[in-house]
Amino acid sequence: MSPGMPVTAATRQAPHGGPLIGLVSDSHGRVETIAAALKYLKAERCGNLYHLGDICDSLHPESADACVELLRNYQVKSVKGNNDHSIVVNQAGRKTPSIKPETLDYLKRLPLVIQSGRMVMTHSLPFENELGLSCMVGAMHHHHARHFFHRFADGILFRGHSHSPEIIWQNHGGTMLSENILAGQTIGIAERTPCIVTCGALDLSLCMIWSPETSSISCRKF
């Protein structure tokens, strides 16, 4: 993977207003958990909400309609996870799909990557151009991290997929460092940028709040 290659054909959006940004991921079809997390983040005054993929669960497509309806009601911007893609593939062409056509269309149209200012959001890896759909399932290795840091010198990658909250960055000498993030912990990242943040899974009752103003991330258990 050459550092000179474009990282992604990301869906690019202008940065949004609002002092706090709420991030959730890997809800795996748990409707009540999504509802609780979004209600919590709104109460914490998050002006914008993002879901980092695996909204639904491919083994339980019956909850997909309710999951997507919640995201629409809360105006959550989302990227596609591997489970979301699997549901689209599994339901395609069925005479009697088990979920609504508008839900299928919503999942089908989800981008693999969203960029908003210096924030980049994806389910696992942001390299859509190089990896295609496999970027949803690839593990984050050090060479992937270095490639991201090279491409986004001031960037913050927010990702899901791995379920456990973590931050990856490199020091001034180029050594790659990582640290687990505990529920209730707030970390300043001004000195660790560029960095990669795994946000933790909703099915573990975890979410994250990003404050651009204070350049800090906070892992929350709701």
pLDDT reported for residue 165: 98
In this prediction, residue 95 has a pLDDT band, given cuts at 50, 70 and 90, of: confident
- Work out the pLDDT band at 93, boundaries 50, 70, 90: confident
Contacts with 32 (C-beta within 8 Å, 6 or more apart), sequence order: none
Spatial distance between the Cα atoms of 22 and 42, rounded to a whole number of angstroms: 8
Q: Is the pLDDT of residue 1 over 80?
A: no
Domains in the chain: boundaries: 18-221
CA–CA separation, 88 vs 45, rounded Å?
A: 33
Among residues of the chain, what percentage have pLDDT more than 90? 87
Instruction: Give the CATH number of domain 18-221.
Output: 3.60.21.10
Q: pLDDT digits over 66-92, tens only?
A: 999 999 999 999 999 999 999 999 998
DSSP code per residue over 184-195: T-EEE-GGG-SE
Mean model confidence pLDDT for the chain: 91
pLDDT at 62: 95
**pLDDT tens string 6-57:** 344 444 443 344 589 999 999 999 999 999 999 999 999 999 999 999 999 9
Return d(Cα 114, Cα 76) in angstroms, integer: 12
The per-residue pLDDT for range 190-210, each reduced to its tens digit, is 999 999 999 999 989 999 999
